[in-house]
Structure 1
Amino acid sequence: MRHLHHLDLDAYFARIGWSGERAPTWATLRSLHLAHVVGIPFENVEIVLGGVPSLAPADLEDKLVRQGRGGYCFEHNLLFAGVLEALGFGVTRLAARVRMGSDAIRPMTHTLLAVEVPGEAHPYIADVGFGSGGLLEPLPLLPGVASPQGAWRFRLVREDDLWLLQTVYGGQGWFTVYAFTLERRESVDFEVANWYVATHPSSPFRHTLRVQRSGPHERAYIEDRLLTVVRSDGSREERELKDDHEVLRLLVHDFGLLLPWDTVFPAPPERAHPPARPEES
């Protein structure tokens, strides 16, 4: 049984700058989803510094709302699920295998949501926790319906018993981001996946700083000390950050994260190759 936690909705709405109608409608879901993605960054600072994020609802609210921090998929989507349920939406917590163009079978370490909107004939897929390559708005759970979202496009397609989230990546056409089923997942499933992602020696989130923010016309991300900005006009900017002070300055002033000025990150590993596309857990 999921422990009840009474979210401070006023504080959450202030954090994401949202003032819409508090009713379980499609318009509310859509605007809340966008406001959350734009308002709370994706980040793994706690993991890089040796911690394991708590998924307890009160701790999620404290970190992402009151402390002015962000988080990764489990934190974002589990907090968002609680908000939606408090507003009267039906929410099913799901899990996915990230593909990012690979055919390798990866563990089921991403979470997303299926949301029931009263009066709507089909659920919507919501995902505020993928990072800079993820959804800006929910998608109808219908195969093949392309959804323009700002400068980006997404769709869901079927592959046997799987649903695939796809986006258009550069000139490569449709590109599979992750695969999932509609099987309900429970808190214990996310606790296990969260521990694995935060502690496993081969986890990319344990050793590599990843901070990302998304908007309708621009995506920006920091990977270790490399800042990358991708804009809707196709332009791309990359810049190496010289030290922790410059990283912190960007995280606070550009990404909106409240971090102590004496934060020291582990030395970034040597790059033998250019960094991969930003990728969620």
Structure 2
Amino acid sequence: MRIGLIAKKIGMSRFFDSHGVNQCATILQVDKCKILDIRNNEKNGYQALRLSFGLAEKFLSKPIKGFLKKQNAKSHLTSREFRVDNLGDYKIGDEIGVDNFEEGQFVDVSGNTIGKGFAGGMKRHNFSGNRATHGVSISHRSHGSTGQCQDPGKVFKGKKMAGRLGNVKRTIQNLLVLKVDKESNLIVLKGSVPGPKGSFIRVIDSTKGKKKIDPKALLKTEPTVSKSDSKKGEDPNKDNNKQDAEAKASGNNSVVKDDKPSAPTNDQGTVNDSNKVEGNEGKN
């Protein structure tokens, strides 16, 4: 596994690809992602790198200040751990930039969704609610029954009820990288990313891979024309016209288009037919 990145969600916009197709895109910004700590199998039981994002001079707790002082590192806004296979390629203080990813590859992104606060059953679980009239009073948007009677005498765990909506971790897989701007430290991804503007997003290589598909081909392929569309404007006599042109070029103006053999003729040019009588004998 390769190391990923911590990015900040700037917002959504449109992106026109090489064919002029308008793509819905999300813009992520990368800012001073430096390695703070290295976790190894001997000491921690697993291999990982702790990566920081940005700089922060305020609102730091004493444990974080002590950790930064020990690592001789500056304060940061947030940090995440990334599992890696090759710890020897990295050291504390190395900065990971947007060039860690390339245009055309697929990535997985993780972040916390937008928090909606306390929500009812209709908004949170898409319940239909009770009837508007005919015996329903006050409980039009209620979720209804929550369980049985004395047996079992409790509400089962996992029952869909009103509660806090949003602000949970979600992962979206196989998002295409449309653009990597090294000057502005921006990454443009196709589609949406969980979380509000300004939230921190974890970006890693796609775990499912799409190994049988060349991801760069999605940005370079030209639109194809189906066989049915290509034959709509063709001339039905195209083959016959081609034969006429070849015959004129060879000096033979008479082109036989029929495969049937011609009827035999006599010296006077008339057609010999056993059922017809030629000359004056037919009049007698």
TM range, normalised to the smaller chain? under 0.3
Greater RCO structure (CA 8 Å; 6+ sep): 2
TM-score, normalised to structure 2, is 0.21
- Greater share of helix: 1
